[in-house]
Amino acid sequence: MKKLVAEFIGTLWLVLGGCGSAVLAAGFPELGIGFVGVALAFGLTVVTMAYAIGHISGCHLNPAVSVGLWMGGRFDKKDLLPYIVAQVLGGIAGAAILYVIASGVDGFELGSFAANGYGAHSPGGYNMLSALVIEIVMTFMFLIVILGATHSKAPKYLGGLAIGLSLTLIHLISIPVTNTSVNPARSTSQALFVGDWALGQLWLFWVAPIVGAILAGVVYKYLSPETEE
């Protein structure tokens, strides 16, 4: 239960910090942080939580990460569904807090609410194929970094930094295409509030990250299997 509470809190922080930076700060007149700032915010949420709850739950914060770690032989299958449920609920809680804050200003309009999308709802107008490919590839690379940075032979205490910087880089690359998901819990939390098109396109932001994570788990297990000493 402590692990699930940690995953809930961590995913809440990911959504509140990452999506919150996009909704509250990215377009703020004169002081807007832009998409570079949003990318950094997502990375910082992972870095901070890695050192706060990594020793409790492993700090997955993402159903695709849990699946990838399981495929890579680093995570017990029996914990997979409870982790995913905790992550999705944490993401929804983070989005709910963000909604309450964001709606507390005159003239509030929900807009995209940092939801992920393709086609007309892609920041750069990219089609479904572009969205599918980039989400698979970005999640694949994210899991390769995670599996490598947390390997028993990797430098100790630097894993959280490498993973957070990796997520920042992923956002710098893919925000224009899909607003960057690589995380089904993050996508679900925002889509529930936007509804309509966001729920209609949500399938891609579950399928693509999980496919990318499974591929990464298989590849990294082949490259450098974790063995007991």
For 51-98, the pLDDT digits (tens) are 999 999 989 999 999 999 999 988 999 999 999 999 999 999 999 999
Question: How far is residue 132's CA from residue 70's CA, in Å, rounded to a whole number?
Answer: 22
Q: Residues with Cβ < 8 Å from 153, sequence gap 6 or more?
A: 224
Cβ atoms of residues 68 and 143 within 8 Å: yes
For 176-226, the pLDDT digits (tens) are 999 999 999 999 999 999 999 999 999 999 999 999 999 999 999 988 887
Q: What is the DSSP letter of 32?
A: -
Share of the chain above pLDDT 70, in %: 97
Q: What is the mean pLDDT of residues 137-143?
A: 97
Q: What is the DSSP letter of 110?
A: -
What is the per-residue pLDDT for 227?
A: 64
CA dihedral 173, 20, 95, 159 (to 10 degrees): 60
Question: How far is residue 3's CA from residue 59's CA, in Å, rounded to a whole number?
Answer: 9
What is the per-residue pLDDT for 29?
A: 63
Q: Residues with Cβ < 8 Å from 103, sequence gap 6 or more?
A: none
pTM of the predicted protein model? 0.92
Closest-CA residue to 54 (of 1, 6, 5, 12):
6
Structural domains of the chain, ranges and CATH numbers in brackets: 2-223 (1.20.1080.10)
Q: What is the mean pLDDT of residues 156-178?
A: 93
Q: What is the DSSP letter of 84?
A: H
